[in-house]
Amino acid sequence: ASAEERRSFALPRRQELYAQEPDAYMSVERLALLPRGDAKIGSPLPIIVVSHAWRSAEHPDPEGDNLLALVDAFGVQRARSRFPEGGFAVFYDWCSLPQRDANGTRTAAEREAFVHALSKMQVWYAHAQTLVYMLTKTPPAWGDVVPYAERGWPTFEQHITMFNKRQSMKCWANVVDVNDPSARPPPPLTAEAFDQLLASKVFTNDADPSVVSVLYKDTLATAFGLAMNLRYVGMHWSDEEFAQLA
């Protein structure tokens, strides 16, 4: 495809998408009418949550590389009966949260909405009833862009995704590594170990590491604070990883 054709796959930011296609947004009422997943994995909602790296601050996926990979992954899982058969909602930060304009600013209302959403970001990934798709490899065309694994927010999203997910090969896939389907999720880290890991990651906003650290601690406390049992099956963790979990 030509460069112009590739650019046509670039999704608009939230503000433009809402103005151009208001029906693209899934209301709570519409979502409630959609079929839910199997009770074996907690009757998940048909909500796809995307974890990904941004190509640049101006646009996360200006030529649709990740978008096309994501669509292909949906098709693969649907062919295996591991994806919602009908309608579904998608949380994708660029299209779901108020983004900066060409001058790098948000209105006061947009800023307020963005900050509030950021304070609840863990819910999308850690919730037992969401389906998380992770784009863990940057497309070759992106060159020397900082990889997914070296970024702070994606590291946070990846680690909290497994906290509350119940899985079965006969139900909707609720944790999918789009670029490496055989990848196994890491065991949960203590707050201290996660902070050490986070110190080695890249953030574009200097304030974000402290925000992510607090969110991780809150998520960890919520997921495990009152847990009486922990059940992990088929994780293939090493002895060291199980010791880390303990």
How do residues 23-42 score in pLDDT, each as one tens digit? 999 999 999 999 999 999 99
Segment 184-200, tens digit of pLDDT: 778 889 999 999 999 99
pTM over 0.85: yes
Distance of alpha carbon 24 from the chain centroid: 19
What is the distance between the alpha carbons of residues 51 and 93, in angstroms, rounded to a whole number?
A: 9
Q: Which residue(s) pair with 90 in the sheet?
A: 48
What is the distance between the alpha carbons of residues 78 and 80, in angstroms, rounded to a whole number?
A: 5
What is the distance between the alpha carbons of residues 164 and 132, in angstroms, rounded to a whole number?
A: 12
Q: Which residue type is seen at 69? A: A
Q: What is the DSSP string of 17-32?
A: HHHH-GGGSPPHHHHH
Segment 203-241, tens digit of pLDDT: 988 889 999 999 999 999 988 887 777 777 777 888 888
